[in-house]
Amino acid sequence: MAAKDELGRAGESHAYDHLVAAGFQVLDRNWRCREGEIDIVARDGRDLVVVEVKTRRALDYGHPFDAVDERKRARLWRLGHAWMRLHPGVARGLSLRLDVIAVIGEPPRAATIEHLRDLR
């Protein structure tokens, strides 16, 4: 596995732990369909949350939040709606929300976590 892939997986695990500690119920990880992948699907109260995780060793190439541009946000919204259609029993009555988690530092387990909620 490439070092970049290992870093990303470690960052996603760190983000998962952060969400669980914050009281989120994680419903799915690395969910895929032909349109793409959702890193984490979770429930936070009455919200079904699509969580995009961006992991960086440093800020040399910009903040991880900058990587979630308008095109990426639109795809994540489509993926979230697709997940909801395929899981109607779980998603019924929930509102869809998009969050982004930035994991910055090395190793990811000791990295800083920044959680941006309700990205529009």
- pLDDT at position 91: 96
**95/46 Cα distance (integer angstroms):** 6
> What is the pTM assigned to this prediction?
0.94
Which contacts qualify for 20-28: CB closer than 8 Å, 24 or more apart? 22/115, 24/49, 27/87, 27/90, 28/83
CATH 3.40.50.300 holds for 3-116: no
Collect all residues with Cβ–Cβ distance below 8 Å to 4 and sequence separation of at least 6. none
- Give per-residue pLDDT as tens, 34-87: 999 999 999 999 999 999 999 999 999 899 999 999 999 999 999 999 999 999
Least confident among 1-5, 93-97, 101-105: 1-5
